Amino acid sequence: MRYFIELAYRGTHYHGWQRQPNGLSVQEVLETALSTVLREPIAIVGSGRTDTGVHAAQQYAHFETDRPIPDSLIRSVNSLIPGDIAVYDCFPVQDQDHARFTATYRYYQYRLIRRKDPFLDGLAYVFTLPLDVARMNEAAQRLLHHQDFESFSKVKTDVKTFNCRIDRAEWEQRSTGELIFHIRADRFLRGMVRAVVGTLLDIGQGRLSVDGFEQIIAARDRKRAGRSAPAEGLSLVAVGYPDNLFEKR
C-alpha cells in the first residue's frame, strides 16, 4: 500500500533532499528511520529535490509497504531523526498517487533581511545594499508571461523540458525592512529560484534593466543570468495536490 508523509526540515546541515554518495541527505535520514520502525527496507520519493542548505516548511514524500502502519509511527520516526527534521503526518493514498507527479504546484519563499540577526542565522540572506523593490517587482511580473526558463536552470540537468508555469512572483516588503520573494509554479528547474532571485537583485541594484531581464529569459542561456542567491534564504513552504488525494487522511 502507498502512504504519503508530510514533513519539514531545516536544510542547513544536509546535502539537499536527495540521497548523495558523499553527503548526508534528508531522504537518507528518513529512509533509515522508516526502515527501522517498519523493519523492512523503505524507499521514499519526495515532491521535489531541494538543494544543499535549502529548507522546507512543508514537504511531501511517498513510500510503499505491505506491513500495517503502527499508530506510533510518527512518534517513533521523530524520536529517531534529528531535531532539524520533523514528520507531521502519514496517511494512505491511492496506488497511482505520486508525491512528485501528482503535485499541482510548489510554492517557495526567499527571505532576505537587511541586517544581521543571530536568530535568523542560516535561515535568511543578509543583504544590506539599497534595493529598488518596485523595479524588482516589475521584473518579477514578466516571469508570468513566459514558460521556458532555461536561463535560470543549472546547466547539467536531465530534464526533458525547461517549461514551467509560474502563477505568482512578487516581492513583499515588511515593516521591519525584511523582503520575502514569493514564487509559485507547477514545477521548478534545478537552481531556478535562487538564480531568479540573484538576477532580480541585480535589477534592484540598478545593474540590469527590466527589459534586460526579459531578454535574459528569452536567451535561454544560464550565463546571461545573475549569480545564484545563497541557499540559506530559500524555503519550500507549500506543495499542492488535488483535494481527493487527502480523502483517506
Enter the CATH code of domain 2-102. 3.30.70.580
Q: Distance between CA 172 and CA 86 in Å, rounded?
A: 28
pLDDT score of 221:
94
Q: Is the pLDDT of residue 177 over 70?
A: yes
Check if 2-102 and 105-237 are the same fold: yes
What residues act catalytically? Answer: 51
**pLDDT given at position 173:** 96
Contact of 86 with 57, CB cutoff 8 Å: no
Helix count and strand count (H, E) for the chain: 5, 9
- What per-residue confidence (pLDDT) applies to 247? 77
Q: Answer yes or no: is pLDDT of 44 > 90.
A: yes
Looking at residue 130, its amino acid is P
**pLDDT 10s digits, 123-136:** 999 999 999 999 99
Single-letter code of the amino acid located at 35: S
Per DSSP, what are the bridge partners of residue 86?
8
- 185-243 pLDDT, tens digit each: 999 999 999 999 999 999 999 999 999 999 999 999 999 999 999 999 999 999 999 99
What pLDDT does 103 receive? 97
Is the model's pLDDT at 248 over the cut of 90? no
Strands, DSSP E only, in the chain?
Answer: 2-9, 45-46, 55-64, 85-93, 105-113, 125-126, 166-173, 179-185, 234-240
pLDDT in tens, 46-81: 999 999 999 999 999 999 999 899 999 999 999 999
Q: In the chain, what are the domain boundaries?
A: 2-102, 105-237
Whole-Å CA distances, 21 to 54, 85, 154, 180: 19, 20, 20, 33
C-alpha to C-alpha distances, 4 to 16, 25, 29, 67, 194, nearest whole angstrom: 20, 19, 16, 15, 28
Percent of the chain predicted with pLDDT > 90? 92
pLDDT band at 1 (very low <50, low <70, confident <90, very high): very high
Alpha carbons 119 and 135: distance in angstroms, whole number? 30
Q: What is the pLDDT of residue 47?
A: 96
pLDDT of 160 reads 86
Could you read off the pLDDT of 134-156 as tens digits, one per residue?
Answer: 999 999 999 999 999 999 998 87
Q: Is the pLDDT of residue 157 over 90?
A: no
Taking residues 73-91, what's their average pLDDT? 98
What are the cell numbers at 123? 535561515
pLDDT of residue 249: 66
Bridge partners, residue 93, by sequence: 2
Q: How far apart, in whole angstroms, are the C-alpha atoms of residue 8 and residue 153?
A: 25
Beta carbons of 206 and 132 less than 8 angstroms apart: yes
Q: Where are the alpha helices (DSSP H) in 58-166?
A: 73-80, 133-142
The residue whose grid cell reads 534592484 is: 204
In CATH terms, 105-237 corresponds, of 3.30.420.40, 3.30.1370.10, 3.30.70.660, 3.30.1490.20, to 3.30.70.660
Of the chain, the percentage scoring pLDDT greater than 70 comes to 99
* pLDDT computed for residue 155 by the predictor: 82
